């Protein structure tokens, strides 16, 4: 993918901006549109969630709903190899292995009982383990982090916990995930999730939906800077 002849089919020709349905010609304009439109679609998922199939298809359904207003490939698996645009970053899983690896990872999550009935320390450790595996698959060209947060929030709630991402900054998340996959060291992810995993909030305030989205939100766009 470092070949000078490679052309990323997801980009507007002669630019570094993803092809999009809103006519954005700059990365800044696209980021602004993406933040607003995916937020609105995420609110819809609180009232009408996708069918919880606990597999790659669920991630695709979440992604398709979140980004349907932005990308004609929303919900489609990526067809290029990608990595974070930071020094020393390794590539995520080669795209040709996404479906096979996803089957293995989600079967392992099922064998782990979807993390139900675990004490908090064990839940945090197993969540870090499974999060790293699925994050490394990185099935989409853009929007992987937001899709995963919605998926894992559902898994956590059904297991008796809640995820609150507000104490974590984007760079901490990226670095912890990179160390987990590149160095096979889950320590930073475990430390990160120790700040995120909370008791479920059972309040029924009128702004519950907005509050839930804030809990799902990390402090900066999750996939900005990914490159093919």
- Token readout for 219 is 């402090």
Residue 151 and residue 171: Cα distance in Å, rounded? 21
| pLDDT tens, residue order, the chain (228 aa) | 444 567 899 999 999 999 999 999 999 999 999 999 999 999 999 889 999 999 999 999 999 999 999 999 999 999 999 988 776 778 999 999 999 999 999 999 999 999 999 999 999 999 999 999 999 999 999 999 999 999 999 999 999 999 999 899 888 988 999 899 988 999 999 999 999 999 987 665 445 455 666 666 654 445 544 666
Residue 197 and residue 204: Cα distance in Å, rounded? 20
If residue 227 lies in a helix (H) or strand (E), which one and from where to where?
Answer: strand 226-227
- Token readout for 197 is 């995993």
Domains and CATH numbers, the chain: 77-227 (1.10.3290.10)
């Amino acid at each position: 993918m470092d070949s000078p002849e490679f052309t990323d089919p997801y980009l507007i020709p002669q630019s570094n901006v993803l092809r999009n349905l809103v006519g954005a010609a700059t990365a800044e304009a696209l980021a602004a549109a993406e933040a607003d439109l995916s937020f609105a679609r995420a609110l819809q998922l609180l009232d009408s969630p996708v069918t919880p199939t606990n597999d790659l298809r669920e991630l695709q359904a979440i992604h398709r709903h979140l980004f349907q207003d932005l990308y004609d490939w929303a919900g489609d698996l990526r067809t290029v190899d990608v990595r974070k645009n930071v020094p020393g970053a390794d590539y995520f899983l080669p795209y040709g292995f996404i479906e096979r690896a996803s089957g293995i990872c989600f079967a392992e999550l099922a064998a782990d009982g979807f993390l139900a009935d675990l004490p908090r320390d064990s839940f945090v450790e197993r969540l870090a383990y499974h999060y790293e595996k699925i994050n490394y698959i990185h099935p989409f060209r853009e929007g992987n982090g937001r899709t995963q947060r919605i998926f894992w929030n559902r898994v956590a709630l059904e297991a008796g916990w809640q995820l609150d991402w507000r104490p974590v900054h984007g760079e901490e998340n990226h670095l912890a995930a990179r160390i987990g996959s590149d160095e096979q060291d889950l320590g930073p992810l475990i430390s990160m999730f120790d700040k995120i995993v909370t008791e479920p909030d059972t309040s029924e305030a009128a702004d519950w939906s907005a509050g839930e989205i804030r809990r799902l939100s990390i402090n900066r766009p999750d996939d900005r800077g990914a490159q093919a």
